[in-house]
Amino acid sequence: MAEFTRASELFDLTGEVALVTGASSGLGARFAEVLSAHGARVVLAARRVDRIEALAGRLVGAKALALDVSDIDAAPAVFDAAEAAFGPVTLLVNNAGVASSGRFIDGSYAEWRRIQATNVDAVWNLSQIFTRRLVAAKLSGSIINIASIASFRVNGVSTAYAASKAAVAHLTRSLALELARHNIRVNAIAPGYIASEMTADYLASPAGQAMIKRIPQRRAGEPSDLDGTLLLLAARRASGFMTGSTVVVDGGDMWS
């Protein structure tokens, strides 16, 4: 039987170059901090350049790059700049996402396309660029997508958002199957309601407070509640035989 690996070594990301999208706030900013703290060099990509530059200045081995993930043609240049700074990107965290509210019957096609462009099209595009570069360089790597409990059930959230996150979960499984032969793992995290800029207004509302009471743990999550799951999926030694999985982190909300 192989000797066990200590946690400090199991989750050591030294040598990894991570690209985190949507890194200007919320989960993306937290993900960047956690990956950096465990040894990865991190590229923070987002539209709000002032925020990612400020965050990059507080981290060791980090670089901020402007990116609107819905601009398909802009992505290759970000990978070029990341590689010039740190070497090939080996860990891609597809975190950038948008949501909307309102009833399907009142929605517009323009709003549908806005959500799909960021939540689905960008994940496909960035993952393909990432994969092609790794395969050409004969390197292994990992993709972590951010899905949602809305990937698996509908509960009154935006139809466009729920459909986009269902697509992310299925894309994760499909890519995992195809890319395993190239030693590229693809997994996802499906958070429940996590306190962030995106959810703050809803969680503070009467409807949000009522929803929290229905969660078995009787609370919304904090970004720190995802730290362990992120590290598990990012660390080769911790999850080297794990691909195609979507890990739900929701305080039991899925089963309520």
Residues annotated catalytic, as ranges: 161
Query: Are 113 and 120 within 8 A, CB to CB?
Result: no
For 129-193, the DSSP string reads HHHHHHHHHT--EEEEEE--GGGT--SSS-HHHHHHHHHHHHHHHHHHHHHGGGTEEEEEEEE-S
CB 67 within 8 A of CB 45: yes
- Tell me how far apart the alpha carbons of residues 192 and 214 are, in angstroms, rounded to a whole number: 12
- Class of residue 199 by CB neighbours under 10 A (exposed 0-12, middle 13-18, buried 19+): middle
Q: Which helix (H) or strand (E) holds 206?
A: helix 206-214
CA dihedral of residues 75, 119, 44, 39 (deg, nearest 10): -110
On whether the CB atoms of residues 238 and 245 are closer than 8 A, the answer is no
The two structure tokens encoding residue 197:
């800029």
How far, in Å, CA of 16 to CA of 128, rounded? Answer: 19
Q: Are 93 and 189 in contact (CB under 8 A)?
A: no
Which residue is it, tokens 């993952």? 127
CB 82 within 8 A of CB 143: no
